[in-house]
Amino acid sequence: MNKILKGMSIVSVMLGCTVAANAENTEAKDGFFRRAFRDMKESAKLQHQIDRANFQATKLETKAFYQEQKRLSKPSVRSAAEKERMQKELEAANQRVAEAQAKVDAAKK
């Protein structure tokens, strides 16, 4: 009987050490999880701010595009923009003609 009690006391001492070691590990794990969840919370807040800023930017860009298209839908504005575009194309074509004429003249000499 003494041998059994002695064996049980040794087992209980070993289990006690294991329980104490597990308690220390649990505290370390609790700290780990607390830090991990705090980091996730901060990350989620930052991501939310980024999403809100991107949404606001997209909303304003869409509004600006709409206003620009609305302005260009007026015939007087559209024809003025078209004349300006045609004038630039004409200037570019005249420049190409002048360059080509210079090459022809240089080739004849």
Distance CA 109, CA 106 (A): 6
- Residue 1 covered by a domain: no
Domain count, the chain: 1
* Cβ 77 vs Cβ 71: under 8 Å: yes
Q: What's residue 73's pLDDT?
A: 84
- Residue 109 covered by a domain: yes
Domain that holds residue 109: 75-109
For 20-69, how does the pLDDT look when each residue is reduced to its tens digit (9 = 90+)? 555 556 666 678 888 999 999 999 999 999 999 999 999 999 999 999 88
- Residue 55 covered by a domain: no
- Residue 79 covered by a domain: yes
> pTM higher than 0.85 for the full model?
no
- Residue 85 covered by a domain: yes
- Residue 86 covered by a domain: yes
- Residue 15 covered by a domain: no
- Residue 81 covered by a domain: yes
